[in-house]
A and B are shown apart, each in its own frame.
Chain A
Amino acid sequence: NAGVTQTPKFQVLKTGQSMTLQCAQDMNHEYMSWYRQDPGMGLRLIHYSVGAGITDQGEVPNGYNVSRSTTEDFPLRLLSAAPSQTSVYFCASSYSNKQGSEQYFGPGTRLTVT
């Protein structure tokens, strides 16, 4: 199994541009989520999905959209990039959304918005 994969690894955008961060998992996990990591702030939840066709907002959803058309894929879209969205983005998945389920993380996408 490849686990959780993310593309691209690095990306530079200009303010106002849009892009999609890709995330895929091959473990047949129902629960997927997106986090952003900023220095001194740990990881903060952006959006999550408890199954195909179901998504919901996390702690910091503004400026991001998600969709979950298949179990495997959970892309994160930036509609109009802003410098405040410069961060490292992690996708994660787990077998279920029950408390205690281990989340598996992808390698991350480092995004810079100029």
Chain B
Amino acid sequence: KNEVEQSPQNLTAQEGEFITINCSYSVGISALHWLQQHPGGGIVSLFMLSSGKKKHGRLIATINIQEKHSSLHITASHPRDSAVYICALQGAQKLVFGQGTRLTINP
């Protein structure tokens, strides 16, 4: 069993829809990252969470340490949000990456 599981693997939605991407993990962590990878490959760090909830613009990330679960929400989704979203577990130094969720937002 993988240490980190993301769902769904692929998600297609219409512009304006509320998007939720889930990440479950099975090991102890110091923090969890949400990353965004665009088709060109470049990776942007969206959030680093160790507890609770963070919000940046239309993006919201939550984490429940007891349940070992995190969610990334996108409100009022837009075609430019189309990308692969990756959750990554922060250990002492290394990151362990989920398989990613490929999000496509249609106009």
Instruction: Judge: A and B partners, yes or no.
Output: no
Which B residues have a C-beta under 8 Å from some C-beta of A? none
Which A residues have a C-beta under 8 Å from some C-beta of B? none
